[in-house]
Amino acid sequence: MTQPPIDTIPDLLPRELVMAVEEALSVGAQRAHAASKGMDEGHLPHVVGQLRHFHMNEAFHRALAMGEASPTAIRGNGIVSGRAGVFTLARFNIPDGFWVNGRRSHTRRQMSFANKAIEPLVQPELFDQYTAPSDAVAFFVACFSGSLHIHPDAPVSIQIAVPDREMRGWLFKEPLTAFLQRYEQKPAAQDDLAKPKLKKIKKQGNDGSAP
């Protein structure tokens, strides 16, 4: 009988770096929106999309560098990625709900093939043996509203997503707000066992003596 794997996908993801990337992508989106002001509305959606790519790539690169995740160089439309633990980390943007857009990149599909090593973490009953993974891929996905009239300066959500080997489904997908709540430790409630005791006050007579 096989033993269930000890690790889970959230266990393997670097929490501190995830927090830094969340902030960086939000800042990059804000800078992209600010830089697009004054552009003609006829091509504004395309301008905003391109600016988001460039500004969010730069912010992502800085977060990876500060987190000592060895980011790849910024080159045009190329994918920026870094390495933390077993995970190669990359990013992309989508209109909220259009997750199929993530498969449009041949490079992302190639990267995702490494995740065959972590599929036993999700469905251990389908595998005879489990070997701790040494290589996997996760994407930070910024989901935008799809309209420049609804939250154009920020993603509706930023999610961390781990695709299957063919990038047709997701082994793990969760908003960063929910992911980071896993690590919030609430102090355990302690019963107050201390009971105050009142001192008895002796009555004194008029001459100061006890009755």
Between strands 136-144 and 87-95, the pairing is parallel
In this prediction, residue 201 carries a pLDDT of 46
Q: Which is higher by pLDDT, 198 or 45? A: 45
| Residue 112 tokens, joined | 């995702």
The pTM of the full predicted model, rounded to 2 decimals, is 0.81
| 153-170 exposure pattern, b = at least 16 Cβ within 10 A, e = fewer | ebbbebbbbbbbbebeeb
pLDDT digits (tens, 9 = 90+) for 8-25: 888 888 889 999 999 999
Burial (0-12, 13-18, 19+ Cβ within 10 Å), 179: buried
Phi, psi angles (nearest 5°) of residue 115:
-75, 0
In this prediction, residue 41 carries a pLDDT of 92
In this prediction, residue 88 carries a pLDDT of 96
| Contact (Cβ atoms closer than 8 angstroms) between residue 136 and residue 88 | yes
Q: Which is higher by pLDDT, 197 or 108? A: 108
In order of 45, 71, 107, 138, the CA distances from 81 in angstroms are 26, 5, 11, 10
Q: Which is higher by pLDDT, 171 or 124? A: 171
> Cβ neighbours of residue 188 under 8 Å, at least 6 residues apart?
none
The helix, strand and coil proportions of the chain, stated in percent and rounded to the nearest 5, come to: 40, 15, 45
Cα pseudo-dihedral 130, 173, 99, 46, rounded to 10: -120
pLDDT digits (tens, 9 = 90+) for 57-113: 999 999 999 999 999 999 988 999 999 999 999 999 999 999 988 998 999 999 999
